[in-house]
A and B are shown apart, each in its own frame.
Chain A
Amino acid sequence: MSAQLLEAFLAEARELLEQIGTLALELEQQGQDADLINSLFRAVHTLKGGSGLFDIVPFTQVVHAAEDILSQVREGQLELTPEHMDQLLSAMDQIGFWLDQLESSGTLDDQAPAISERFTLALRSILGGGGDSAPSDSAAESEEAAPDAPPDWLLRVPEAKRTELAQQGNCIAILYTPDEQCFFQGHDPLLTINTLPNLAWWQIAAREPWPELEAFDPYRCVLGILALSQAPLEDVRHHLRYVSDQIELSIVAASDLDPDATPAAAPTVEDAPEVSDQELPDDQTLNATTQLVLELLQEQRDCLRAQVVPELWTGRVASVGAVLRHLLTVLNHEDLIAQLPEALAQSTANSGQAAALLEMINQALERSRPPAPQPSPEPALEAAASAETPTEPEPTTERRQTQPAAGKDDNRQRVLKVDAERIDTLMDLVGELIVAKNALPFLARRAVEEFKIRPLSKEIKGHFNILNRIAEEMQGAVMQVRMIPVGTAFQRFPRLVRDISRKLGKQVQLELQGEDTEADKNVVSDLSDPLIHLVRNALDHGIETPSERIESGKPPTGRIRIKAHQQEDRVLIEINDDGRGMDPTVLKRKAYEKGLLTEEALERLTDQEALQLIFAAGFSTAESISDLSGRGVGMDVVRNAVQRASGDIILDSTLGLGTTVRLSLPLSMTVTQVMIIRVGDEDFGVIFDTVRETLRLPQNEVQRIKQHEAIILRERLLPLHRLDHLLGLPETSPQQGDLSVLVVGVGSTDFALVVDDVREGVDVILKPLEGVMSSFPLYAGTALLGDGRVLLVLNLKELLQCL
Chain B
Amino acid sequence: MKTIFLVDDSTTILMSLGDILTKAGFSIEKASDGEAALTKLKGGLKPALIITDLNMPKMNGIELIRSARALPGMRFTPILMLTTESQQAMRDEGKKAGATGWLVKPVAPDQLLGVIKQVLPGS
Contacts and interface: CB of A to CB of B under 8 A. Distances in A.
Nearest to A4: B15
A679 to B, nearest CB: 54
A52 B106 contact: yes
Contact of B55 (A41, A132, A241): A41
B79 to A, nearest CB: 6
Given A46-B55, A403-B46, A9 B12 contact: yes
Given A53-B13, A132-B86, A241 B121 contact: no
Given A5-B19, A188-B121, A407 B40 contact: yes
Contacts of B99: 185-186
B98 to A, nearest CB: 5
A8 interface: yes
Contacts of B100: 185-187, 242
3 tightest Cβ-Cβ pairs between the two chains A and B: A407-B45, A52-B106, A186-B78
A406 B9 CA distance: 22
A191 B100 CA distance: 13
A179 to B, nearest CB: 10
28 contacts: A2-B19, A4-B15, A5-B12, A8-B11, A12-B12, A13-B12, A42-B55, A46-B10, A46-B13, A48-B84, A49-B8, A49-B84, A50-B10, A50-B13, A53-B12, A184-B69, A184-B75, A186-B76, A186-B99, A187-B78, A242-B101, A242-B102, A405-B1, A406-B3, A406-B46, A407-B44, A411-B39, A411-B40
Contacts of B9: 42, 46
B16 interface: yes
B119 interface: yes
Contacts of A411: 36, 39-40, 43
B2 to A, nearest CB: 9
Interface residues of A, number: 43
A135 interface: yes
Interface residues of B, number: 49
A405 B27 contact: yes
Contacts of A48: 84, 105
Nearest to B79: A186
Contacts of A410: 39-40, 43-45
Of the listed residues A12, A71, A132, the one surrounded by the most CB atoms of chain B closer than 10 A to its CB is: A12
Interface of A: 1-2, 4-5, 8-9, 11-13, 39, 41-42, 45-46, 48-50, 52-53, 68, 71, 132, 135-136, 183-188, 191-192, 195, 239, 241-242, 403, 405-407, 410-411, 413
B85 interface: yes
Of the listed residues A185, A188, A241, A406, the one surrounded by the most CB atoms of chain B closer than 10 A to its CB is: A185
A552 to B, nearest CB: 46
Interface string B30-42: 0010001001110
Given A191-B118, A407-B29, A8 B84 contact: no
Contacts of A136: 88
